Chain A
Amino acid sequence: MSIRYIILALVLIAVAFGLLFITVPEKSNQIEVTTFLKSINDPARFINTDDVADRIITEDPTLLIIDVRKPAEFEAFNIPGSVNIPLGDLMNEENRKYINQNLLDVVFVSNDGVYANTAWALAAQNGYKNLYVLERGLNRWFETIMAPVEPAETAPIEEFELFSVRKGAGQYFGVQAYIEAPVIEKVIQKKRAPKKVIVKEVQEVEAEGGC
């Protein structure tokens, strides 16, 4: 056997032996930065309050609302059917199963959208699908669903239709009475004519006799 073959065989063994010392690279399941930036600029990741209300009322089984505020805030007010997972606990192993799935549309909710957007970013970076943010958060929810403002009289008919839909939705979510803008009615005081007091004159009836 020629010395060349022995050297080459030894090189092969040495290189293969070196494989034992390289660590298996940790598989990062995070998505590419460019993909992430593209999706962060995509307005389709926002869902507005009317759509969410509609989907709750029609009992859409593919909707999962995740409220990422603190439990105390959640207790004080929440969207019916929403699940409370505080932002800090979102990436816990037991909570990931809520967001790492392909069946439901996940809608993140917070007061204004800052926490909800953070939650969205955390989940989207991990490549999870079907993630949405409630546009302008619970503040907007309150403005539109819980206490919608009646449009001005000159507003187009669509606004009035939207208003009545919102009012209906609000009733569904348990709004008892609407705080409507006070309607200033002109109080017309009619001068009433003094009542005529009819005094019946008691007429003496003579006893009629008869036999």
Chain B
Amino acid sequence: MGPLTPNGIISTEWNYVIAVLIGMAFGFILEASGFSSSRKLVGVFYGYDFAVLRVFFTAGLVAIIGLLYLNYFGYIDYSVLYVYPTYLNSAILGSVIMGLGFIIGGFCPGTSLTAVAIGKLDGWVFTGGLFIGIFIFSELFNMEAVENFYNGNYLGHITIMDYFDINPYGFVLIFTLLAVAAFTIASIVRRRVKQVFY
């Protein structure tokens, strides 16, 4: 049956409409969970709030476990799913910049927009900086060296399971155990760190 759009069950036009609705729902949940507060977001770095770690780790696990089960029951063809291409250089440099931006600015791109939505000034500043960064990157991209670095170490549409040729089911189980261990450690750390009110 699924995935719904490639199999023509949802048309491309409706796909965009549904994407907007999902985006609004996502933004609402982010805001409702307090993710528009930069203090809550950076708490993961200072050890007083691990909501970000828990939420995103759990979301990833629910998605992958759900996909594997749905594939097994025949509701989704796992092999048709779009796998985002891996450019190793850009991925590494991009995640370093993203991490630095996260700890300095207190937002990631999505949460900065939820902050904008509720009218936070730091959210506005962060989003402005985001667009300045996009502009600088676009201008630099004309330089051949930057473009070559950007496209360097292209690995294609791979997943970790394909790359290391490991059984996805075992991998997901290990990943789940690691996540639960991380949650447990996070809650122990949180209890030891001084409470911060935000």
Contacts and interface: CB of A to CB of B under 8 A. Distances in A.
B11 to A, nearest CB: 20
Interface in B141-198: 167, 169-170, 172-173, 175-177, 179-180, 183-184, 187
B72 A16 contact: no
A12 B79 contact: no
A27 B79 contact: yes
Nearest to B170: A20
Among A1, A15, A17, A20, residue most surrounded by chain B Cβ atoms (within 10 Å): A15
B26 interface: no
Interface string B58-78: 100110010011011010000
A77 interface: no
A12 B170 contact: no
B61 A16 contact: yes
B169 A25 contact: no
Interface residues of A, number: 14
Contacts of B180: 9, 12-13
Contacts of B175: 16
Given A5-B183, A19-B68, A13 B176 contact: yes
A20 B169 contact: yes
Interface of B is mostly: helix
A19 B173 contact: yes
A190 to B, nearest CB: 85
A156 B81 CA distance: 59
Best-surrounded residue of A5, A12, A13, A27 (most CB of chain B within 10 A):
A12
A19 B70 CA distance: 11
Give chain B's interface residue range (CB within 8 Å of chain A). 20 to 34
A153 to B, nearest CB: 59
A17 B177 CA distance: 9
Interface string A144-157: 00000000000000
Contacts of A22: 68-69, 72, 169
Contacts of A5: 183, 187
Nearest to B71: A25
Contacts of B71: 25
B169 A12 contact: no
A26 to B, nearest CB: 12
A16 B69 contact: no
Given A17-B173, A20-B173, A12 B187 contact: no
A15 B65 contact: yes
Nearest to A9: B180
Given A1-B187, A9-B180, A16 B79 contact: no
Contacts of B184: 1, 9
A3 to B, nearest CB: 13
Given A5-B183, A9-B183, A25-B71, A19 B65 contact: yes
B155 to A, nearest CB: 23
Nearest to A21: B169
Nearest to A12: B176
Interface of A: 1, 5, 9, 12-13, 15-17, 19-20, 22, 24-25, 27
Interface of B: 58, 61-62, 65, 68-69, 71-72, 74, 79, 167, 169-170, 172-173, 175-177, 179-180, 183-184, 187
Given A16-B176, A24-B169, 9 more contacts: A12-B58, A12-B65, A12-B176, A12-B179, A15-B69, A16-B61, A16-B177, A19-B173, A20-B169
